[in-house]
Amino acid sequence: MISVKGTILLFLLLVVPLCLTILGTEPYPAIILPYGGGSYRQQDQKISVSYKVVYAANRQGQWQEIDPVSFMKPIPVQYFPFLAATNFGFDSLVPSHRAKRVHRFLGLKKKDRQKDKRELTDWLRKRLASHQMQDSTIRIVTYTETIATDTRKLLSKAITDERLIQLH
Amino acid sequence: MKDLYNYIERINAAFWTRVVASTRQNTESISIFRIIFGLFLLTVWGPNYGWLSNMPQFYFDPPILSVANLFDDFPDKVLLLSIDFILVACGLAITFGIYARIAGFAFIFLGIFATNFQFSFSKIDHSVLVYATLACFSFSEWGTKLALIPDRSRKKNRNEQALSLLAIFVCFSFFSAGLEKGFWWSNFDMNTSGTVRWLYDCFYGVRRQHLLASAVIHTLPFWTYKILDFIAVAFELSPIFFLVRSRLSWKVWLLAACIFHLINTMVLNISFVCNAIVYLAFVDYSRVYTFVSDSIRRRAPLFYVVGGLIVIALIARANQILSLIPADVIFIPRDEIVHFLYFSVALWVAVICVFILDFRFELLRAMRSPRHNGSGGAFGS
């Protein structure tokens, strides 16, 4: 049996990390499972979905899609969307306003990693070369597909964002 | 004031009494679970971190509230490889019962320490319940039986606390997942759905298009997802009620959780196999204790099968660690996603079968118990 004090301590141990997570600063370790509470809205029986595809130029100069699993190996594939979202780490994820406030309050600061940028560039160039691609550029394209929710047919597919990462 | 404190104390005692009644297992049962847990670490969920030393240091960006932030870079290869081998040794020690308590704490400390570095890639994975299970049981008597070098029995048996705390951790983790969904998904706007977001993001965003993903996304009408939104929220916010209700209802929820993971594996291609071992902690293994104990003593075929599996697992783990590739299941490389999913489906089906057998036994026991003759019923508390 756990005493009242023990129960209160347990409650705090569980709830404080959850509150920090809600504020946008998930600590680790914490007893938390994936939350993902966002939703999609259908309008006029249509829904829009965005996703990123990474391309590199092959030896003939044509853009070719990169398989994220083999390209990022040994980084597990579940991290790929986050790396693509930050242009393979060249940009940092922008924390939410709530997270920024928590960081300021706790006096926390992200480390400056600029000095290691050269190493990352070389690492990505080697990856491209090993995939028989030109090692100078990576292209990250965001596609937005509109799908009919009743027939599930693809109604349109458009490029909504495009970024070129020059590796030099 | 004293009355209030007494009242709170009574409520607290009543709450924990119910939780203990729903989760209680004897030392024989949790000793069997220790062997299953150790085998799980060796064969199904064996994290390794040596590969991190080959990553560009620019990727070193751990969560801001993480011990990894005390470091400037990814640790050295020798340190990470040493941690990998110690983790395997801990898994082996837990399986055989060689100072299982110390091995458990060492696994937690080193595993969590190294995992912090892995979360440098802007995402925190949620396998923490495995560590929570190990933490809870490392305080228990699970290393005192069926052990080569048994832990010393403590005067105060902490088996009940271990299982009660673990049950609370499971309930709270699901609550944390369901809370935000409850705010945003629980509405009657038939044009919005959170399940659709999970499904479409997985299908298009991360290309999780295997098993039943395509069939579900192309057949279910939109309104069915709205129903699934409500079911998901109710399921994730409800475990605490099942836990305090009765032992049988807690097992019903655990069975539902396994089915939930099986569906997620087939539709969203999110397998969460690590949670299987957490739920298995609540199964009563005391029925097979004599069989396992005899098999070990008489060197029965089961003894050699498990021994062979351990030897193969050790060779596979050593190979995975030295090749500096992250791994989970032995024999299935992490990038072979379809094979891994098939394995996950098989695992969840097996766990569901175990829970059905266990549930049947609990139901029979509850029906035979004198209390069942009263008005409470098998599901009553």
Q: Which member of B59, B165, B172 has the closest CB to residue A89?
A: B59
Q: Does residue B378 fall inside a structural domain?
A: no
Q: Does the complex come out with an ipTM higher than 0.95?
A: no
Cβ of A77 within 8 Å of Cβ of B337? The answer is yes
The residue type found at A131 is H
Please give the Cα distance from A57 to B42 (Å, whole number): 42
Buried residues in A88-107 as b, exposed as e (16+ CB within 10 A)? bbbeeeeeeeebeebbeeee
What does the pLDDT profile of chain A (168 residues) look like in tens digits?
789 999 999 999 999 999 999 888 889 899 999 888 889 999 989 999 988 889 999 989 899 999 888 888 888 888 888 888 888 877 765 566 666 666 666 666 666 666 678 888 888 999 999 999 998 899 999 999 998 988 888 899 999 999 998 887
Q: Residue for token digits 């990576």?
A: A138
Q: Does residue B260 fall inside a structural domain? A: yes
Which pLDDT belongs to residue B60?
84
Which residues are paired to A58 by β-bridges?
A133
Q: What was the pLDDT predicted at B379?
A: 45
Q: In what order do the strands lie in the sheet with A46-58?
A: A63-65, A46-58, A133-148, A154-166
Q: Which residues 5-34 of chain A have a CB within 8 Å of chain B? A: 7, 10, 14, 18, 20-22, 25-34
Q: How far apart are the first and last CA of chain A?
A: 63
Q: With beta carbons less than 8 A apart as the criterion, state whether B159 and B151 touch.
A: no
Across chain B, where does the E strand assignment appear?
192-193
Q: Of B133, B81, B103, B100, whose CA–CA distance to B280 is shortest?
A: B133
Q: How far apart are CA A93 and CA A83, in angstroms?
A: 9
Instruction: State the pairing for strand pair A40-41/B192-193.
Output: antiparallel
Q: Is residue B117 part of a domain?
A: yes
**B318 in a domain, yes or no?**
yes
Whether A32 sits inside 8 A of B126 (CB atoms) is yes
Contacts of B183 in chain A (CB under 8 A): 37
How far is residue B343 from each of residues B287, B315, B356, measured CA to CA in Å? Answer: 27, 20, 20
pLDDT given at position B155:
74
Q: How far is CA A75 from CA A136, A167, B283, in A?
A: 21, 20, 35
Asked if the Cβ–Cβ distance from A51 to B221 is below 8 Å, we say no
Residues 6+ apart with CB under 8 A from A147: A46, A47, A48, A49, A153, A154, A155
Structural domain for B10, as ranges: 2-373
List, for chain B, all residue ranges whose pLDDT scores fall below the cut of 50.
373-381
Residue of B nearest to A32 (CA): B173
Residue B179: inside a domain: yes
Domain-located, residue B193: yes
Residues 101-130 of A with CB under 8 A from B: 103, 108, 110-111, 113, 116-117, 119-120, 123
Contact criterion met (CB < 8 Å) for B122 and A83: yes
State residue B107 phi and psi, 5-degree precision: -65, -45
B133-165 pLDDT per residue, tens: 999 999 999 999 999 999 998 877 789 999 999
What is the spatial distance between Cα B273 and Cα B66, in angstroms, rounded to a whole number?
Answer: 25
Residue in B with minimal Cα distance to A8: B12
Q: Is A37 an interface residue toward B (CB < 8 Å)?
A: yes
Do the domain assignments include residue B239? yes
**In this structure, is residue B381 part of a structural domain?**
no
Residues of A in contact with B66 (CB under 8 A): 27-28
Is B172–A92 a contact, with Cβ atoms under 8 angstroms apart? Answer: no
From the list A10, A83, A145, which residue is nearest B204 (CB)? A145
Distance from CA of B123 to the nearest CA of A (A): 7
